[in-house]
Structure 1
Amino acid sequence: MTRPQRTYCMSRIQGKNTKPEMAVRSYLHGQGFRFRLHRTDLPGKPDLVLPRYRLVIFVHGCFWHRHRGCFYATSPATRKEFWRNKLEGNVSRDYRQQKELIELGWRVLVIWECGIRHAHEALNGVPALITGNDVFNEWPGSPPRQRKT
């Protein structure tokens, strides 16, 4: 792929309203949860905010946010230093924003893309995380063991 082609492809990647985010929104709405989207007054502009539960939800892509132990969190073979800095910066920013939200009294739930790809029907475990009391949680608790074919 040429550099202009790669630039074009990368420019098409959305930061919000992604397929995984839309799947989570659809599921939660169907379960009766009501939420706000992308609140700019909160650190990190969470994908979903459930004020009733004092909870924010981030729907993270495993590649971009480096889901630990996930086979989708691969490292590009070219421009290694650029990508290492970029992706490590994403993880640092995520941690900082989550910490700020917790300090402001919000609970944080991170839903990983791989969980949605592999077990969309298992999203039924998410409502318990929403109504629970944990300050921080991730779903799924551990990444799937193999790629979905």
Structure 2
Amino acid sequence: MTAPKTTDVYDRAKRSAVMARVKSRDTKPELLLRRLLTDLGARYRLHRKDLPGSPDVAMPGRRLAIFVHGCFWHGHDCARGARVPKANRDYWLAKVGRNKARDARNLADLTAAGWRVEAVWECQMKDQAALKERLAALLSEASHLPPPDRSAVCPPPDGAEP
């Protein structure tokens, strides 16, 4: 049995090495977002595995989760996100479709748990001033939210009334 034909310009070992270098954490857009949030005085946690979708940035006190989405990988409706590779087109359409479905599930799960969810797209990083304004508005809105009910998570000590 012969290997299936591929249009890949790299051999299998080189393709593996290239793909191993593709990061899913601490990407340039993610680092930029974190720098802007720090400049605004925000405190946050990274990649909380206990939350659906493991948001790139989570602010538990504000109940705010932020995802940094790459336009291509998450199917944004911009020039980069609308581009579909010519090679293996069906695979890429299905892949991006699965990513979008997963994003929708994570959004629904986080919202149901009482979190506000925001997505920052890779293409929005170009205008840093506008992004910083948007983040400042998000932080301002989130600071007016009532504190989360922790009674289910932290029961009162023995003998104390709830």
TM-score band by shorter chain is: 0.7 to 0.9
The match for 1:123 is 131
Contact 1:53–1:131 (Cα < 8 Å) also in 2 = no
Structure 2 residue 53 is matched with structure 1 residue 51: no
TM-score by length of 1: 0.82
1:72 is paired with a residue whose SS is helix
Q: Deviations over 1:101-120 (max 9, x none)?
A: 0000000010011010x212
Extract unaligned runs of 5+ from structure 1: 134-149
The match for 1:13 is 22
Shift of 1:122: 2.0
2:123, 2:104 → 1: CA distance? 20
The Cα RMSD (Å) is 1.3
Q: Deviations over 1:42-86 (max 9, x none)?
A: 000000001121100001100000112x00111111011111111
Shift of 1:131: 2.6
2:139, 2:91 → 1: CA distance? 36
Q: Deviations over 1:117-147 (max 9, x none)?
A: x2122222221023326xxxxxxxxxxxxxx
Shift of 1:97: 0.6
The match for 2:91 is 82
Extract unaligned runs of 5+ from structure 2: 1-8, 143-162
Q: Which amino acid aligns with 2:57?
A: L
Which of these two proteins has the greater Rg computed from alpha carbons?
2
The match for 1:42 is 51
The match for 2:145 is none
Q: Which amino acid aligns with 1:71?
A: A
2:120, 2:21 → 1: CA distance? 22
Of 75, 86, 96, the residue aligned with 1:66 is 75
Structure 2 residue 108 is matched with structure 1 residue 99: yes
The match for 2:118 is 109
1:15 is paired with a residue whose SS is coil
Q: Which amino acid aligns with 2:94?
A: N
Q: Which amino acid aligns with 1:122?
A: A
1:56, 1:47 → 2: CA distance? 8
2:24 is paired with a residue whose SS is coil
2:85, 2:64 → 1: CA distance? 34
